[in-house]
């Protein structure tokens, strides 16, 4: 069963995230890294596709990637439309379109979750096990992610143990 197969609860519809809004908010809050170069934003060509190589999982392509302080994120080509994948644990990533610049932010995974993903449906892969959990992100407390599975199991997960997270209903 996949997240999009489960009908959303009425209380969660207001939390559907928009990538444009996320990027605008990060810009406004000063989270985007300044490049220090003479290239203006209008002349910059941002990377549209990146290959992420992971140690114990298959390599994955992400479109419209965003590189954070401790994560890389983008839209997956293998899951349903509107699924945004955040990878916290990877070996390296390489741009697939030469001559482009990777969109960067100074934000951490915790800051992205706290600012934009509370209430979002997500699928988590954890470092300590091969298990995946689907449910809703309900909050953060320090370095802990508060997560409720679709079968109402409440979990407190250390941010550092999240290998990856697929967020549903994210659109551009």
Identity of the highest mean pLDDT range in 23-27, 103-107, 165-169: 103-107
Domain boundaries, given as residue ranges, for the chain:
12-33+46-167
pTM of the model: 0.71
- pLDDT at site 96: 87
171: left (phi over 0), alpha (psi -120 to 50) or beta: beta
The residue with greater pLDDT, 141 or 15, is 141
The residue with greater pLDDT, 54 or 82, is 54
- C-alpha to C-alpha distances, 29 to 19, 33, 108, nearest whole angstrom: 15, 11, 13
- pLDDT at site 169: 66
Average pLDDT of span 91-107? 88
Average pLDDT over the chain, rounded to an integer: 78
The model's pLDDT over 39-60, given as tens digits with 9 standing for 90+, comes to 445 557 888 999 999 888 888 9
Average pLDDT of span 89-105? 87
The model's pLDDT over 62-73, given as tens digits with 9 standing for 90+, comes to 998 999 999 999
Architecture of the domain defined by 12-33+46-167: Roll (2.30)
Supply the Cα-derived Rg of the chain in whole angstroms: 16
The model's pLDDT over 121-165, given as tens digits with 9 standing for 90+, comes to 999 999 867 788 999 999 999 999 999 999 999 999 999 999 999
Length of the chain: 172
Average pLDDT of span 8-16? 38
Are the beta carbons of 117 and 137 closer than 8 angstroms?
Answer: yes
């Amino acid at each position: 069963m996949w997240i999009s197969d489960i009908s959303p609860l009425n209380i969660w519809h207001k939390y559907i995230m928009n990538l444009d809004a996320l990027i605008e908010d990060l810009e406004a809050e000063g989270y985007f890294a300044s490049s220090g170069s003479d290239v203006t934003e209008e002349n910059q060509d941002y990377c549209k596709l990146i290959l992420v190589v992971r140690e114990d999982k298959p390599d994955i392509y992400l479109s419209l990637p965003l590189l954070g302080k401790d994560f890389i994120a983008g839209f997956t080509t293998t899951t349903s439309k509107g699924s945004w994948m955040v990878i916290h644990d990877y070996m390296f990533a390489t741009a697939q379109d030469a001559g482009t610049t990777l969109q960067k932010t100074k934000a951490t995974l915790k800051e992205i979750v706290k600012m934009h993903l509370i209430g979002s449906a997500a699928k988590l892969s954890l470092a300590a096990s091969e298990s995946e959990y689907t449910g809703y992100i309900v909050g953060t407390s320090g370095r802990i992610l508060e997560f409720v599975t679709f079968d109402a199991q409440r979990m407190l997960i250390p941010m550092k143990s999240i290998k990856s997270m697929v967020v549903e209903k994210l659109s551009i």
